[in-house]
Amino acid sequence: MSKGKHAGHGTPVTRYEDQWGQEQGNAQWMPSGMVPINPYSRSSYAEGLANKKGKRRRRKRIGITIALVIIAMLVCAGTAAALYFTNQIKTIDENFSQGLDADIEDALVETNAPSDPFYVLLMGTDESIERSEDNTFGGIYRTDTIILARVDPGNKKVTMISIPRDTQVDMGEYGLQKINAAYAYGGASLAVKTVSELCDVDIAHFVLVDMDGLAAIVDNLGGIEVDVPMEIDDEDYTGHLDAGLQTLDGWQTLIFARSRHAYDSVGDGDLLRAANQRTVISAIVDKLFQSDIITMSTSITNLSSFIQTDLTVSEIVEYAQALKGIDTTTDVYSATAPVESVYENNIWWCKLITSEWEEMLSRMKQGLAPTEEQEVDSATGIVLSSVGDSGTASVTADTNATSTASVTQDGNVVVKNGSGVSGAASSAASMLAKAGFNVTEVGDADSDKYKSTLIIYASDEFADEAKTINETLGGSNTVMKNDGTYTMTGDLLVVLGSADAS
């Protein structure tokens, strides 16, 4: 049942101003030479929230603790139950809701029962010293950590997918943007709407956490045990950590969870940092399990001052009872959305790899791990995706989830856009991937003047598969065997024509 319909924020932005914080050369997360149009500039948006919700405290936010908040508090049923009968409840609920924008309830959906799977958007923003001093963005900052979590209390499973901050999305009236701009443009409401559309799921809860919360909770617990896979020497950005199994205090945990430049010489810093953040989440949950009730109660009470969420203590208690006993070594699955870096118009974007992304979402909705096998970075030893006991444990699929495993085809399918219609190839590739075809490449054809869609197969063994592709794409396309006319890099080539691209 929907809590309401999302309300848009403002009018389309046609001009922007300044550069917003990207570190790759002159790359920006918004086109250069443009300024926000009032009254929907960042400063005006912040003033609007203040008028609606009272003066909002400016707090330093980061996303490492966001998943901790939702997972740790949900699994600690004993702590929640203890807090339930104390006078701390009112304080915690007030802390939780402080600063939420008025439209957030309209963007979320209700869960049917405490045991049903539901989705949570976990977000955190990072604030630089310079921004803190000059109030450049009026208290509204980029969400540099974005995690979609699927929580399944009935089967005691949690799945986390990190979404890279530079992921390109169509933000409606704001045009093509990096996904970390959503919160700055429209607060929690627009962030929820954007991620919901990107992932094709309904989101039930929103959580955002301050930077200070991570160090505070870790120190309150007496540190967490983490096996640091390689030495981190990032003095200009975070700090230094030796490699190996060790107990990290709050500040050291921040170093481990924030550092990405330490990996510049060995791999993708953003990808490896996201994996480290999920490691921190599991380590904190494990430490909470080992703590006594008083320590856990104090931790959660203190932590409530550092977060924003629509959840109340009573809701947490309800979910916690169902999740009690979760094993983070087998019951928590994680991965990062598959993307490729693309440099366009002086901006670095992360673009989703359509076929892999569709398969990841399909697995998540079925209650499976996002990837079939665990992935480990060979250079650093960092676990990029974890599968736990996926494949052997009981699962509950989303009501609208469909499996593609039984219809997976053998041939490699290349989809080319010959229609002149922007996005036609990506749409067709997504449709084929959902139907189980192995789409290996998406791009532009040698011409954009094709009228009809062509489906070309390299040899007779792929003839039946070509016919199935034709049926998937509507059944009115031309199917033929390659006679040498077409250069093919796969087993099947789909060239979209203008008659079928709309």
Q: Quick one: 148 and 219 in the same domain?
A: yes
447 pLDDT higher than 80:
yes
pLDDT in tens, 57-98: 333 333 334 444 445 554 454 555 455 445 677 778 888 887
**Residue 119 placed within a domain:** yes
Q: Rounded to whole angstroms, how far apart are CA atoms 273 and 283?
A: 15
CATH number for the domain including 295? 3.40.630.190
Helix (H) or strand (E) holding 168: strand 168-170
Whether the Cβ atoms of residue 215 and residue 250 lie closer than 8 Å to each other = yes
pLDDT in tens, 305-339: 777 888 887 777 677 667 777 787 788 898 999 99
Q: What is the dihedral of CA 461, 467, 472, 477, to 10 degrees?
A: 130
32 pLDDT higher than 80:
no
Whether the Cβ atoms of residue 492 and residue 462 lie closer than 8 Å to each other = yes
Hey, what amino acid is at 311? L
Average pLDDT for 203-231? 84
Helix (H) or strand (E) holding 332: strand 332-336
pLDDT in tens, 139-162: 556 677 899 999 998 888 899 999
**Residue 329 placed within a domain:** yes
Token reading at 286: 């494990």
3-state secondary structure of 131: helix
> For the ranges 80-94, 184-198, 341-355, 445-459, which has the lowest average pLDDT?
80-94
Q: Quick one: 231 and 93 in the same domain?
A: yes
Predicted pLDDT of residue 197: 95
Q: Quick one: 277 and 162 in the same domain?
A: yes
Q: Quick one: 332 and 451 in the same domain?
A: no
502 pLDDT higher than 70:
no
Average pLDDT for 414-441? 84
Predicted pLDDT of residue 203: 96
Q: What is the pTM of this model?
A: 0.60
The range of the structural domain enclosing residue 451 comes to 405-501
220 pLDDT higher than 90:
no
Question: What pLDDT band is residue 206 in, cutting at 50, 70 and 90?
Answer: very high
Sheet holding 438-444, edge to edge: 438-444, 412-417, 492-496, 454-457, 478-481
Token reading at 78: 């004993």
Q: Quick one: 340 and 455 in the same domain?
A: no
3-state secondary structure of 234: strand
Q: Quick one: 296 and 381 in the same domain?
A: yes
Cα dihedral sign, 36-38-40-42: positive
Q: Quick one: 219 and 366 in the same domain?
A: yes
Q: Quick one: 429 and 375 in the same domain?
A: no
Predicted pLDDT of residue 275: 82
Of residues 356, 316, 363, the one with CA closest to residue 69: 316
Q: Quick one: 216 and 342 in the same domain?
A: yes
Q: What percent of the chain has pLDDT over 70?
A: 69
Bigger pLDDT: 285 vs 416: 416
Predicted pLDDT of residue 42: 31
Cα dihedral sign, 168-171-177-183: negative
Predicted pLDDT of residue 5: 35
205 pLDDT higher than 80:
yes
Q: Quick one: 420 and 319 in the same domain?
A: no
Cα dihedral sign, 23-185-120-352: negative
455 pLDDT higher than 80:
yes
Quote the mean pLDDT of the chain.
74
Token reading at 262: 């330490």
Bigger pLDDT: 1 vs 323: 323
Q: What percent of the chain has pLDDT over 90?
A: 26
Token reading at 318: 């309800």
Q: Quick one: 292 and 438 in the same domain?
A: no
Predicted pLDDT of residue 325: 75
Q: Rounded to whole angstroms, how far apart are CA atoms 256 and 273?
A: 8
Number of domains in the chain: 2
Helix (H) or strand (E) holding 343: strand 339-344
